[in-house]
Chains A and B, each alone.
Chain A
């Protein structure tokens, strides 16, 4: 079976800074994978590399076996790799439904505006935003804007959806709702890569977790194993804490 997405020795430098160094992993169909790491580990950079916003300096990215590391962002989204942004990126003066239509019309390639609107309305119903369809996107609350990002991503008809901190800034109830949505999306057969700070969210949701630290991949394992990995504990909590943990075990 070819992996849906495969990274081979991907690196990216900004000037002298190695933001991502020699990272390799695969994402299979229908998987929910968590991507975690301390602040500045390179998680968002990695998503930017995969989506073509910042092309990789070296290494290969394969989508269904075909190299995509030289493609532009719009070409990558047309192949079914969608993302949301950590800082939400709506088209502020357009209505909510128009925002979602953009994804349906361009990435998913629906040529008729009416059909794009129908598809967009479906995604709004799915994400619980149907009542706000004709409001300008800038009027939504942060939680709803995050959902709008989700709806926009879904309208692109992706088979991989990368969620960059969709829960950041949300309260507990809102997080619960967002998680329900993410599970429902996965149930449609979409592979999900979720970047997250809240360990509880990742461990509850993901079958596998990839850990980045200083731009390098330090762990790629099941959730249960990753949170016991001494290198991961060290990365998050420092070496002294990691040693104490090891002694206790």
Chain B
């Protein structure tokens, strides 16, 4: 990491930690949403970016995590346990799913992962006794002030983001990341140089599932009410991909930059072009990806640093 990068990171982290001091719940809510998407994008990036598998199924893990946590929490168990159960169920589901789906490649894999959220959504709808079906599921009220709640969930998402980021940083710089990189570039050759491709792909898939499920569980506790069409929304599958593209696919910090940039753009466009909101946002994203194919994180801070210094 270069000096300007490190400086930027320190400033960013400091602002994040100080955010609750502003006492503005709207800003906190926005930041919590940004962090949630950052986690989803980091999770997607492990499979889609590092391993190169076109994953369209983040909503499945997100929704499964949300429902697992919500069911446990609404049965009267503590929040921490609910989140833990969600992570365990999310990971276990990812292992099983990875074992089946990771035999597919390319388009076939993309379509297969896209369907999973739909299937889970239908199952959740049908299993009324456990999930409340289409009526949704109410979570027990915390009984805290809105500000206290906003601060608590902000720090919960921040903590999850930090863990997810640290994990991908470690993965990217060790054997697992190396193996995933080989698989992305040439899976057959990876197998021939002695890489147990199935094993490493399942590790990536499981990490991805665990983080997405954790984000889902925190989201459920945060909003206090979930329903299948909300947490299995296909946008939870699509947005992380766009955010990763925007920030830099296959990089460690790209997903966070992408998620923040996307939501900032979204908020800005929404305020200024109420009628044309989605059109303008779409145009901006296409333009950004066209002109910065490796994402925002590919902008060389060093060069900017020297330019501004010499100017």
Contact = CB atoms under 8 A, between A and B. Distances in A.
Given A94-B181, A102-B178, A113-B174, A74 B194 contact: yes
B172 to A, nearest CB: 12
A108 B193 CA distance: 9
B185 A152 contact: no
Nearest to B179: A106
Contact of B190 (A102, A111, A113): A102
Contacts of B197: 74
Q: Which of the listed residues A77, A78, A90, A102 has the most CB atoms from chain B within 10 Å of its own CB? A: A102
Nearest to B188: A89
A9 B146 CA distance: 76
Contacts of A78: 194
Nearest to A109: B194
Interface residues of A, number: 28
Contact of A91 (B174, B181, B196): B181
Contacts of A150: none
Interface in A80-102: 83, 85, 89-94, 98, 101-102
Contacts of B188: 53, 89
B311 interface: no
Contacts of B185: 91-94
A92 B186 CA distance: 8
B182 interface: yes
Contact of B191 (A72, A103, A109, A113): A72
A73 interface: yes
Interface in B157-187: 174-175, 178-179, 181-182, 185-186
Contacts of B14: none
Contacts of A103: 193-194
A193 interface: no
Given A102-B178, A113-B178, A83 B192 contact: yes
Contacts of A106: 179, 193-196
B175 A77 contact: no
B193 A156 contact: yes
B189 interface: yes
Chain B interface residue number, banded: 10 to 19
A17 to B, nearest CB: 21
Q: Which of the listed residues A77, A89, A106, A109 has the most CB atoms from chain B within 10 Å of its own CB? A: A106
B182 A111 contact: no
Interface in B192-206: 192-197
Given A89-B186, A92-B186, A102 B191 contact: no
Interface in A32-76: 51, 53, 72-74
Given A89-B189, A94-B185, A156 B175 contact: no
A93 B196 CA distance: 21
Nearest to A111: B175
A91 B185 CA distance: 5
A103 B191 CA distance: 10
Contact of B193 (A72, A77, A92): A77
Interface of A: 51, 53, 72-74, 77-78, 83, 85, 89-94, 98, 101-103, 105-109, 111, 113, 152, 156
22 contacts: A53-B191, A72-B191, A73-B192, A77-B192, A78-B194, A83-B192, A85-B189, A89-B188, A91-B186, A91-B189, A93-B185, A101-B178, A102-B182, A102-B190, A102-B193, A102-B195, A103-B193, A105-B175, A106-B179, A108-B194, A111-B175, A152-B193
Going nearest first, the 10 A-B pairs with the smallest beta carbon separation are A107-B194, A106-B194, A89-B189, A91-B185, A77-B194, A73-B191, A103-B193, A102-B193, A106-B195, A74-B196
